[in-house]
Amino acid sequence: MGFTVTKISEGPVKPASPTPSPTLPLAWVDRYPTHRGLVESMHLFKSGTEPAKVIKEALAKALVFFYPLAGRIVEPEPGHPAIECSAQGVYFAEAKADCSLEDVKYLDRPLLISKDDLVPYPKSEDWGVEPHNTIMMMQVTTFTCGGFVLGLRFNHASADGMGAAQFIKAVGDMARGLPEPLVKPVWDREKFPNPKIKPGPLPELPVLSLDYIILDFPTDYINKLKSQYMEHSGKHCSGFDVLTAKLWQCRTRALNIAPESEVKLCFFASVRHLLKLDKGYYGNSIFPVKMTATSEKVLNSTILEVVDIIREAKERMSVEFFQFAKEETDTDPFQMTFNYESVYVSDWSKLGFVDVDYGFGKPMFCGPLVNNDFIASVVILKAPAPFDGTRMLASCLTKEHSEEFVRGMKHME
């Protein structure tokens, strides 16, 4: 059965009161070419009274504090994008679905409603701003029998995942009647290093046909692996560490490539602690953590030994970051290689989206909507309630290799 989503209203939401109007330069990492795009995500709530009205009014109030997000990305100097604080507003749409969340299985995969109906895609005549210059778009879709979905498109040039979540939590603070956000925003982009290193060329993207795989891991299983790692090394590790080690090993086995072939793993880590940034900083503050090993090395190691490889890379990251910051390297650390032997992992579990509350309680689920056929990628996030555990959204293997990967990942002894 097909379901329909009908748009009820759309247009800009501007700050609720006058705001400053400077043009603010972005940080080096904000300006990175691959960050100039809209990241799509879905935030699912089981109930809510007039959520579109509540969130729209709260959004206007939050933009008074986060006024740069009501502006536009401009390039006063080619190659140096900045934010013009024009107060032109955030695109906001209200929509209604002709079904209940239960009818569409609470939007679990595979989606029974197109993602394009859940996140805003305004027509050019309704929104005369190119997507790469738009900072944010929001859509609230209500369902029969209660419940709603907030579809968000947030420009990575204006904030990283933690920064985007900070803003959305501020909207929740306003919705709950607070006079100001619990965490006040600071711009402070000048505190991120601004070396003379120029970004490398955009990488070539392979054309792949990747399976979309969902895997859930109980908290008890993750804790067991963490305890085993403590016995192995005498050190703590995170749930992210053990699950990433497991996926790298299982994926490498599924690839079935020559022992001497190199496999690569990359994820981005926050460097807020290294820069001692104010907790209100909401710009990009990330740095890549990269590791390379032979297929033989990954396969002949235990999962705990693969965790060692990951943790060693994490420890190297601070040294590599300060080399970048102090211009002690001529290499662009953000330059990526998108071949089939490389996999990219994102951790959404601790960004803060799961803590957002508009007065209706915290979300049942939130996570990214975008998946593609040219980057082998995995997202780790909190599993939907009521399941107690972690979900992995994997788009990292073709059909030829995905069955072996799933078999290995589901082995939890």
pLDDT digits (tens, 9 = 90+) for 264-276: 999 999 999 999 9
Q: State the CB neighbour count (10 A cutoff) for residue 352.
A: 18
Q: Does residue 76 fall inside a structural domain?
A: yes
Supply the pLDDT for residue 13.
98
Q: Is residue 357 annotated as a catalytic residue, yes or no? A: yes
Residue 298 lies in a domain: yes
Dist. CA 237–CA 305, nearest whole Å: 12
Q: Is residue 412 over pLDDT 90?
A: no
Q: Are residues 169 and 257 both part of a single domain? A: no
Per-residue pLDDT tens digits for 97-111: 999 999 999 998 888
Instruction: Report the domain count for the chain.
Output: 2
The reply to whether 161 and 46 lie within a common domain is yes
Q: How far is CA 383 from CA 140, 210, 212, 215, 245, in A?
A: 22, 22, 16, 9, 19
Q: Tokens for 68, please give them.
A: 């740069």
Q: Is the bond leading into 78 cis (omega within 30 degrees of zero)?
A: no
Please classify residue 208 by burial: count the beta carbons closer than 10 Å to its beta carbon, then call 0-12 exposed, 13-18 middle and 19+ buried. middle
Q: Does residue 251 sit in the same domain as residue 390?
A: yes
**Residue 216 is a catalytic residue:** no
Amino acid identity of residue 329, one-letter, is T
**SS3 string of 353-366?**
HHHCCCCCCCCCEE
Which pLDDT belongs to residue 204? 76
Q: Does residue 287 carry a pLDDT above 80?
A: yes
Residue 371, pLDDT score: 60
Question: Which tokens sit at 204?
Answer: 């070539």
Residue 34: half-sphere exposure toward Cβ, Cα within 13 Å:
13
Reported as type and span, the H/E element at residue 217 is strand 213-218
The pTM for the full model equals 0.94
Give me the pLDDT at residue 294, please: 98
Distance of CA 39 to the CA centre of its chain: 7
Residue 180 and residue 218 share a domain: no
Whether 134 has a pLDDT exceeding 70, the answer reads yes
Cis ω before 386 (30° cut-off from 0): yes
Share of the chain above pLDDT 70, in %: 99
3-class state of residue 324 by DSSP: helix
pLDDT in tens, 209-259: 899 999 999 999 999 999 999 999 999 999 999 999 999 999 999 999 999
Whether residues 253 and 108 fall in one domain: no
Burial (CB count <10 Å: 0-12, 13-18, 19+), residue 111: middle
Check residue 47 and give its pLDDT.
94
Taking CA atoms, 388 is separated from 105, 223, 346, 364, 381, in Å, by: 18, 12, 20, 12, 12
DSSP string, 219-269: HHHHHHHHHHHHHHHSS---HHHHHHHHHHHHHHHHHT--TT-EEEEEEEE
Whether residues 228 and 129 share a domain: the answer is no
Together in a domain, 262 and 305: yes
Comparison of pLDDT for 109 and 117, the residue scoring more = 117
Q: How confident is the model at residue 1 (pLDDT cuts 50, 70, 90)?
A: low
**pLDDT average, residue stretch 161-186:** 98
Give the pLDDT mean for 157-169.
97
Claim to verify: residue 102 and residue 247 sit in the same structural domain: no
Mean predicted confidence (pLDDT) in 380-398: 92
pLDDT of residue 191: 96
Q: What is the pLDDT of residue 201?
A: 77
Q: What pLDDT was estimated at residue 366?
A: 93
The whole-number pLDDT of residue 81 equals 93
Average pLDDT, the chain: 94
What proportion of the chain, given as a percentage, has pLDDT over 90? 86
Query: Do both 134 and 227 map to the same domain?
Result: no
Residue 297 makes CB contacts below 8 A (sequence gap 6+) with none
Q: Which domain holds residue 123?
A: 5-191
Whether residue 99 sits in one domain with residue 138: yes
What is residue 385's predicted lDDT score, i.e. its pLDDT?
Answer: 80
pLDDT tier, 49 (very low <50, low <70, confident <90, very high otherwise): very high
Domain CATH code at residue 68: 3.30.559.10
Same domain, 133 and 182: yes
Among candidate residues 156, 160, 308, 401, the one labeled active-site is 156
**Bridge pairing between strands 213-218 and 148-155:** unpaired
Bridge-based pairing of strands 90-100 and 80-84 is unpaired
Mean pLDDT value of segment 14-32? 96
